Chain A
């Protein structure tokens, strides 16, 4: 009898455990596994945004962040189709590994104007770029909704977020705020500054110019030539958008690349560039930049954000950087070395571009894709978009006369990683489709109204960008007579029909592409460090070595660009 009782009791206990799982069928709580293809920090269990996600969608996330090499990790994960995470952010390698391995589902099975009006409206303006045709079956496919670059309204260029030549503000201030437009002016200024100020106040010698070369960040060494030629970022190829068939070629092996490396070689001889820069890891580079001793470099703003934050924390405002759009001077490149009919005009900033194939995809092993799609659909509603971008009204921001504002402290919080772990759904927000640009219609929040003309992101809102700017920057800008740091470069040009060529997946020619990269890694630093009188010989040897892979790569890219152009015009 006693035994029977205890068994009954146990059954009761078991039953009570099961009860919470039996609530409303389609909102039954689930835990989704989520792989995030970049290093990051686990959110704390009390994270307020993830709590709201759990309340509204019944979804909790079990997150794994990248440790080690992205390609290796993704490659290994794809080998085991039973063990795929439900949600997958493959970072920059999503296209070449996740999509080409077929581990992502086609989102168009769920996304259409009727069922998901928000998502559809979000991608509609750029759908010719986002929706592609499967090469084998010819059906329309969309594996990933771009996580960035689908802004509403006019493009916001408060500052340069992409590639540029950077220089410390103190160098420009020291020289009396000159206009620096060409490569020669840039290096002349750095040389003059170092000649007069060889060390900083602690006695550490200044480094004139850094060139980061580690792994994929070799773009700091390779990409400048196209910009000096007046094109925005197309990766490793120069596209003649004025030519009829979008003539495409790698530029690194062209005669017009030589003047840039010749210049770097001269600066190396003068000691402006240190040999150590070629053996630096990314971490060492960031550490070096954070101390404020590096006067200039070519990079992209987002790539050294940690260093900028460190400099700001130390209140070394004069050591932070300005993005300059440098181009070749007229007499830098001999006329016979120029592509036919080419004229150079500065264009560092491109028209806004959807971040194609970057963002989260749903894996084939996910049991409930429709729940994730529904979550994304809802997240594009104004109230959720404000929650994800700005936070909770009254806590993280406030509304004043219809405008969204933050205090200095609230704004500082948003940069604080610890704060984010408690108060922002960083990893999910980063990979999900999100609203950016301008708020186009009034939004009712409680009893207040957010008026049209505000920005979806705090980082774009004028009250924050200009209102909370530090005094050094304010004076710096007024000395130039500019209102924003974006004024140092020309306004954006219209995006070419093919988008930006760096987004093209190069895995079909992977081995040639690998050769192309390896030869640059090995030989280009040697060209820059060539002893006096040996530069020409080293350059010629480099060009000869890289030409075969350049040819394969150029032809491949040309074909792909033509395909993209055709798709864009809907042919």
Chain B
């Protein structure tokens, strides 16, 4: 098995590694048993645009590189557009990916979904809270 230069480069110098202060969408997928855990942190503004995306990953080179690319792919996009990002886009950027590593790109896609889902949940909670506050005010 050989890794592409793109994977090695991303693995060596990930651009988006680390946590994100003030993240309002955080999603975690995978488990240690199969060897990968990916945590995606999103900072989404009031217009629903992803201002920043960062990740923390437990896993192999391909897993770390995939989440790093996923962050790049969704930054600046609206939440709706970010949901359209697919694992295919991730592995195309990374060049040749060993067949048994494709699941890393799938997990990266899933981590985006998980983080956005968390964002929606938080938003719904907030709107319910503010609705409740309005009722309480009456």
Does A pair with B? no
